[in-house]
């Protein structure tokens, strides 16, 4: 079954890094690409649906974004590396990319979350580091990453795809497993290094003298080595590096991913009111995103 990569678009050319990231991935994997634009239902707006003029504008915007995706798919500079076998054909010689479009009406976060039930991966953009430094930064990408039914990729505006290697954070808990699997698959597809990191402090200052520091450090190393073995079993040909890092978890993950092509972290699939909470580490990582960050879930909700 062909997977679906869904990407939220807003019609702004300077915000197309997410579209480019999603398009290249769709071509590489033979996935279907679906572009989604949400007509914002303003607070206090009593309208049951958008006006005909807004619908016309949305369709025009989506047509423009679809053409942009098709141009990206045809870029001759884009190649897909192979670990084994013959060099694959460049993207522009591969079968045509299937691109669907859809407009929705409502509140952006809620509509993207609902739409994600029909996707295998949802891709959204977020402010770049320089944009965050200039003013108020919204939390849309945080809300979507927390509540989506599938894995979510958050791509900073202006991302040029210059990084090398895939980084994944592990902590020995179940949510790390889909993160390791996603990161291993990505490293195999790109033919790049996979770096698995377990980040934390050797000892909590509150427990100084009560907990042997070496035991906590050893535990982190055992966790990351076990994750590395799992990645090697999944893809025996990839180069895997395992590191235990002494740092605050979110800061350590962000710094470890510097210069990479992607950072992958897991998340607990919460229910009810807690579903809007991503977890402190994932939350802080997404507030400081510098490279594409994937919040990996084990499966699409409802399967």
Per-residue confidence band for 81, with pLDDT thresholds at 50, 70 and 90: very low
pLDDT of residue 204: 56
66 has a pLDDT exceeding 90:
yes
Assess whether 155 and 31 both reside in one domain.
Answer: yes
Rounded to whole angstroms, what are the CA distances from 74 to 12, 18, 30, 60?
A: 20, 17, 14, 22
CB neighbourhood size of 184 (10 A):
25
Total domains, the chain: 2
> Where is the domain boundary, 142, 160, 178?
160
Higher pLDDT, 10 or 204: 10
pLDDT tens-digit series, residues 238-292: 999 999 998 989 999 999 999 999 999 998 654 433 444 456 788 889 988 899 9
Average pLDDT, the chain: 83
Average pLDDT on 79-108 reads: 64
Assess whether 149 and 12 both reside in one domain.
Answer: yes
Average pLDDT on 109-135 reads: 83
- Contact in structure between 249 and 285 (CB atoms under 8 Å): no
> Where is the domain boundary, 160, 177, 202?
160
The dihedrals phi and psi of 118, each to the nearest 5 degrees, come to: -100, 15
CATH number at residue 155: 3.40.50.620
pLDDT of residue 271: 41
> Where is the domain boundary, 160, 186, 219?
160
Percent of the chain with pLDDT over 90: 60
- Identify the domain containing residue 231 by its residue range: 162-303
Assess whether 131 and 197 both reside in one domain.
Answer: no
pLDDT of residue 76: 73
Average pLDDT on 123-139 reads: 67
């Amino acid at each position: 079954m062909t997977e679906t990569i869904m990407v939220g678009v807003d019609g702004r050319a300077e915000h197309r890094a997410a579209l480019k990231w999603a398009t290249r991935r769709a071509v590489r994997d033979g996935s279907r690409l679906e572009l989604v634009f949400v007509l914002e239902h303003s607070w206090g707006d009593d309208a049951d649906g958008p006006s005909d003029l807004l619908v016309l504008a949305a369709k025009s915007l989506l047509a423009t974004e679809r053409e942009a995706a098709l141009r990206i798919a045809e870029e001759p500079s884009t190649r897909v590396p192979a670990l084994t076998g013959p060099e694959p054909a460049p993207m522009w010689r591969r079968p045509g990319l299937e691109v669907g479009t859809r407009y929705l009406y409502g509140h952006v976060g809620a509509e993207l979350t609902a739409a994600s039930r029909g996707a295998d991966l949802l891709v959204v953009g977020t402010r770049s580091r320089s944009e965050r430094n200039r003013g108020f930064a919204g939390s849309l990408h945080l809300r979507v990453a927390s509540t989506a039914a599938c894995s979510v990729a958050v791509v900073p505006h202006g991302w040029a795809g210059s990084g090398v290697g895939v980084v994944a954070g592990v902590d020995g808990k179940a949510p790390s497993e889909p993160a390791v699997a996603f990161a291993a698959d990505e490293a195999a597809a790109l033919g790049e290094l996979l770096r698995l990191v377990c980040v934390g402090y050797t000892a909590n200052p509150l427990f100084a003298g009560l907990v042997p520091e070496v035991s906590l450090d050893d535990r982190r190393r055992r966790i990351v080595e076990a994750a590395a073995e799992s990645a090697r079993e999944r893809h025996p040909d990839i180069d895997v590096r395992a590191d235990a890092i002494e740092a605050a978890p979110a800061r350590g993950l962000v710094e470890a991913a510097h210069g990479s092509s992607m950072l992958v972290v897991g998340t607990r699939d919460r229910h009810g009111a807690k579903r809007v909470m991503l977890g402190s580490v994932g939350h802080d990582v997404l507030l400081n995103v510098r490279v594409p960050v994937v919040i990996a879930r084990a499966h699409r909700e409802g399967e």
